[in-house]
Amino acid sequence: MNIGEIARRAGVSRSTVSYALSGNRPVSEATRKRIQSVIDELGYRPNASARALAEGRTRTIGLVIPPASSRLTHMQLDFVGSVVDAAAKADLDVLLSPSGGDHDRSFERLVSESRVDGVILMEIRMEDARVDRLREARMPFVGIGHPANDPGMFWVDVDYAGLIYHCVRHLADLGHRDIALLNRSPELVAAGYGPGHRAREGFMRAVTELGLQGTELLCGDDARCGQECIADLLAGRPEVTALATINEAALPGVQRALQEAGLVIPRDFSLTGVVASQWAEDFRPPLTAADMPSDQMAAQAMALLVEIIRDPSMPAQHILMSPPISLRHSTGAAPAGSHAAIRPVGQPQQPTGGGLS
Amino acid sequence: MNIGEIARRAGVSRSTVSYALSGNRPVSEATRKRIQSVIDELGYRPNASARALAEGRTRTIGLVIPPASSRLTHMQLDFVGSVVDAAAKADLDVLLSPSGGDHDRSFERLVSESRVDGVILMEIRMEDARVDRLREARMPFVGIGHPANDPGMFWVDVDYAGLIYHCVRHLADLGHRDIALLNRSPELVAAGYGPGHRAREGFMRAVTELGLQGTELLCGDDARCGQECIADLLAGRPEVTALATINEAALPGVQRALQEAGLVIPRDFSLTGVVASQWAEDFRPPLTAADMPSDQMAAQAMALLVEIIRDPSMPAQHILMSPPISLRHSTGAAPAGSHAAIRPVGQPQQPTGGGLS
DNA sequence: TTGTAAGCGTTATCAC
DNA sequence: GTGATAACGCTTACAA
């Protein structure tokens, strides 16, 4: 069933049906009603491909996600959900493209077959070939994250550097002098993963400015790695009394390692960082942390993208978000001495009641 | 740039370019080469909308996911990733549609604007209006999960009933006589959520057949609820020595509650169920569980969908998967006596969900 | 082996 | 206020 069928049944021309639907030119109330009733009766909806072809736009946006092989973190998944919701609100559809490698067929279809009106590009690297590709294809896009230096690009990002800086500062205010940063994996950071680099940058700045002792841990994105990392840290640098992290997937492991060492949060050890709010709330005790504002980021990115699509000549905009650090219960005053002294030896299964609640 | 431009530059007709690209009729090697070089030079790709309009298919499939508001579980997210990967392998794109309510604009676009060639429908309810809508629209689709009774529908599902049955049986073999099922939330089960009902069914069957004492817990999908549920259970029914679950999101809370009660897994308490393998591996100790085969389910669903699209008259197929239960370290022989004796005195509370007998 | 031309279902520009 | 009709860019009979 097509627009011609509707036109015939309503006794009008195809263009009138089209106009009645789009409202792009006045149609008498009588015929509009008649057309509408035929449409309702037959359940007609215009064919999206034909419309896209004629209009020159698809009412669809592309969302480029990391490939599923590299398992997505909660933060990323929250974001995908938020984008889909934001798009739905704007009556836009979302085409998903997994892409990380460079010669990616799905990504190529997206940029060069006019399947979408614009793209949201997740997980931007400091140097990112996909950015060049999108620009070359004149495809409107907004990055989530930003490259090392690209003032002409639209992006939305979280101010990891500033946030981690503030986290460390908060810890220092509580008296901690020896602080660690639990970063993402060595591979990711080596590949130019922005948040990793910027967290490091904020950490180093804080450590330098405040005259602290700083240790950076590069840690894989899962509980096992987190546990190993922290076990190693406690063994090698028992003076450390606090940790800031951007590696939420490692958090369960962090918790276990601290617990097995008999350390109670926040009495013996403080923990903070940047994580999805769900993780912060689910942690035991709830985590003092900057909650990733996925919803807002998605909404902002979507709004930006819609603007660029409407006017591709717009000057670039960058949105650097600094969500407030929610004070929960995982940070506290530094213990009097290093806990190397007070740490019980060889008693791994002590139940921890879990701080202040 | 379009196919006409390529044709002109290569000195051939538009159809020849089309045929050279599709291979739908022989083209002399010489002209093929010439055309290809022009295409490479200009980076031409055919317009997807035009092609879809002419061919009558979009080379895109729809994936209907639960709305982001109801936060997706890891199992679901794994599955989304797997579907996208499976689709990419078949050179298909994936259009995402969040849908749970009934009058959903995004879902309506999917089914009635010919945006996609077929649909994968997640989280089927025992009675599901979307199934009727898809069928009415003659849209090929495969369900993940299956309604109460619908032999004509294509679906792929996990045999929750059988799997939970085997889990309980395994626990019984280890000597456990008083076993609980940690189900999903009361709301979800009340809404006719299939896995919840079928897990219950398998649980009841095992309990009845084996003459066990069974307790069902309906528990929200997060750590906090898990913790409360288990705390209540231990307080109200201290005889329970083992638990089977399909609620992976509650797992961290389960762990904490057991720990706070001073119970060691698997010495004092055994744990098993159906979860994403990632959770099973990340658990402490690693969980003996049936690992959700997301990749295989996605691949199977995609294969099925491709078949239906090719031949809509195909007789329905149902794939009920029974992944093996991976023996890890969370189940062990039942403790000699009830651990009621060694449990620290807690506040007396009723277990949520109530007993079965 | 190649070219011509008729669709595919819309939108939008003309007329009237 | 409404109706023809020409795009939009492609595929695919039908001819040659």
| A258-276 tens-digit pLDDT | 989 999 999 999 999 999 8
Q: Looking at CA atoms only, how far is residue B240 from chain A in angstroms? A: 20
CA A119 – CA A134 distance, rounded (Å):
9
Domain covering B160-290, topology: Rossmann fold (3.40.50)
Q: Cα separation of B218 and A53, whole Å?
A: 51
Question: Looking at the domain B60-158+294-320, which fold is it?
Answer: Rossmann fold (3.40.50)
Angstrom distance, B89 CA to D15 C1': 39
Q: Is the CB of A48 under 7 A from strand C?
A: no
In Å, how far are A250, A352, B15, B234, B265 from B259, measured between CA atoms?
20, 8, 71, 11, 9
CB–CB of A106/B88 below 8 Å? yes
Cα nearest neighbour of A294 on chain B: B68
Q: What angle do CA A348, A349, A354 make, to 5 degrees?
A: 110
Interface test with A, best of B44, B71, B115, B294 (most A CBs within 10 A): B115
The whole-number Å distance from B62's CA to D1's C1' is 40
Report helix, strand or coil for A92. coil
Which of the 18-77 residues on chain B come under 7 Å of nucleic strand D at their beta carbon? 18-19, 21-22, 24, 44, 46-47, 50-51, 53-55
* Whether the model pTM is above 0.75: yes
Q: Note whether A263 and A247 are within 8 A (CB).
A: no
B341 vs A199, residue with greater confidence: A199
Protein-proximal positions, strand C, CB < 7 A? 1-5, 7-13
pLDDT in tens, chain B (357 residues): 999 999 999 999 999 999 999 999 999 999 999 999 999 999 999 999 999 999 999 999 999 998 766 667 778 888 988 999 999 999 999 999 988 765 689 999 999 999 999 999 999 988 889 999 999 999 999 999 999 989 999 999 999 999 999 999 999 999 999 999 999 999 999 999 999 999 999 999 999 999 999 999 999 998 899 999 999 999 999 999 999 999 998 998 999 899 999 999 999 999 999 998 888 888 889 999 999 999 999 999 999 999 999 999 999 999 999 999 999 999 999 998 655 444 443 343 344 443 443
Do residues B153 and B143 lie in contact, with contact meaning Cβ atoms separated by under 8 Å?
A: yes
In angstroms, the separation between the Cα of residue B10 and the nearest Cα of chain A is 21
Q: How many whole angstroms separate alpha carbon B115 and alpha carbon A93?
A: 10
Residues of chain B in contact with residue A353, where contact means CB-CB under 8 angstroms, are 260
Q: Give B 225-264 residues with CB within 8 A of chain A.
A: 252-253, 256, 259-260, 262, 264
Q: Which two tokens stand for residue B245?
A: 């679950």
Name residues whose C-beta falls within 8 Å of residue B208's C-beta, 6 or more positions apart in sequence. none
Read off the DSSP letter of residue B214: E
Question: Is B48 in the A-facing interface, judged by CB distances under 8 Å?
Answer: yes
Q: A41 CA to chain B: closest CA distance, Å?
A: 14
Q: Tell me the longest C-alpha to C-alpha distance in chain A.
A: 91
Quick check: A16 CB within 7 A of strand D?
yes
Closest by alpha carbon to B28, among B12, B39, B43, B14?
B12
Per-residue pLDDT at A29: 95
Residues 6+ apart with CB under 8 A from A255: A265, A283, A284
A67 touches chain B (CB under 8 A): yes
Chain B interface, best mutation among A42, A71, A103, A115, by max B CB count within 10 A: A115
Tokens of A16: 């009138």
**Bridge partner list, B137:** none
Q: A95-131: per-residue pLDDT in tens?
A: 999 887 656 899 999 999 999 999 999 999 888 899 9
Instruction: Flag whether pLDDT at A339 surpasses 70.
Output: no
Q: Is A90 on the interface with B (CB under 8 A)?
A: no
Q: Helical H runs in B216-339?
A: 223-236, 251-260, 277-282, 294-310
Q: In chain B, positions 189-228, which contact chain A (CB-CB < 8 Å)?
A: 222-224
Q: Which of residues 272-311 of A touch B (CB under 8 A)?
A: 278, 281-282, 284
More confident residue, B116 or A338: B116
Residues pairing with B65 in the sheet = B98
Tokens of A229: 């990392």
Q: What is the pLDDT of residues A207-233, one digit of tens each?
A: 999 999 999 999 999 889 999 999 999
Q: Does A105 touch chain B (CB under 8 A)?
A: yes
Q: Is the Cβ of B85 closer than 8 Å to some Cβ of chain A?
A: yes
Cβ of A27 near strand D (under 7 Å)? The reply is: yes
For residues A21 and B113, give the distance between their C-alpha atoms in angstroms, rounded to a whole number. 14
- How does residue A354 score in pLDDT terms, banded at 50, 70 and 90? very low
Tell me the three state secondary structure of residue B144. Answer: strand
CA–CA gap between residue A158 and residue A179 (Å, rounded): 22
Q: Can you read off the two tokens belonging to residue A137? A: 């294809």
* Pairwise CA distance, residues A212 & A169, whole Å: 10
Contact predicate A201/A126, CB 8 Å: no
Same CATH fold assignment for domains A3-55 and A160-290: no
Distance CA A339, CA A240 (A): 8
The residues spanned by each domain of chain B are: 3-55, 60-158+294-320, 160-290
| Å between B95 CA and nearest CA of chain A | 4
Q: Predicted confidence band at A179 (pLDDT cuts at 50, 70, 90)?
A: very high
> How far, in Å, CA of A59 to CA of B110, rounded?
12
Q: Which of A95, A51, A82, A118 is nearest to A305 (CA)?
A: A118
Contact list in A for residue B21 (CB cut-off 8 A) is: none
One DSSP character per residue, A248-260 reads GGGHHHHHHHHHH
| Residue A95 contacts B, CB cutoff 8 Å | yes
**Nearest to A57, CA basis, from A139, A180, A154, A170:** A139
Tell me the CATH number for domain B3-55. Answer: 1.10.260.40
CB A176 within 8 A of CB A242: yes
Give B114's contacts in chain A (Cβ within 8 Å).
Answer: 47-49
- pLDDT computed for residue A223 by the predictor: 87
Say if the Cβ atoms of A95 and B96 lie within 8 Å.
Answer: yes
Question: How many CB atoms sit inside 10 A of residue B143's CB?
Answer: 27
Long-range contacts of B41-48 (CB under 8 A, 24+ apart): B42/B1, B42/B5, B42/B6, B42/B9, B43/A112, B44/B1, B44/B3, B44/B5, B44/B6, B45/A108, B45/A109, B45/A112, B45/A113, B46/A113, B46/B3, B46/B21, B47/A53, B47/A113, B47/A114, B47/B2, B48/A109, B48/A113, B48/A114, B48/A115
Q: Any idea which nucleotide's C1' is nearest the CA of B54?
A: C8
Closest by CA to B136, choosing from B177, B108, B168, B176, is B108
Q: Are A84 and A94 in contact (CB under 8 A)?
A: yes
Per-residue pLDDT for A348 more than 50?
no
- Best of A1, A49, A74, A228 to substitute, by most chain B Cβ atoms within 10 angstroms, is A49
**Which two structure tokens, joined as six digits, stand for B83?**
């579907």
Q: Is the CB of A42 less than 7 A from some atom of nucleic acid strand C?
A: no
| Helix runs in chain B, H state only | 3-10, 14-22, 29-42, 48-55, 74-89, 105-112, 129-136, 160-173, 186-190, 194-210, 223-236, 251-260, 277-282, 294-310
Neighbours of A35 (CB within 10 A): 24
CB contact under 8 A, A85 and B95: no
On chain B, the residues whose CB falls within 8 A of the CB of A352 are 259
Please give the pLDDT value at position A350: 35
Closest listed residue to residue B51, CA positions, set A254, A130, A113: A113
Residues of chain A with C-beta less than 8 angstroms from the C-beta of B50: 49, 53
Please state, for a pLDDT cut of 90, what percent of chain A lies above it: 80
DSSP B280-303: HHHSSSPPEEEEP-HHHHHHHHHH
Tell me the two tokens of residue B248: 């992976």
Q: Which residue is nearest to nucleotide D2 (CA to C1')?
A: A16
Question: Which chain D positions have some atom within 7 A of a protein CB?
Answer: 1-5, 7-13
Contact list in A for residue B97 (CB cut-off 8 A) is 84, 88, 93
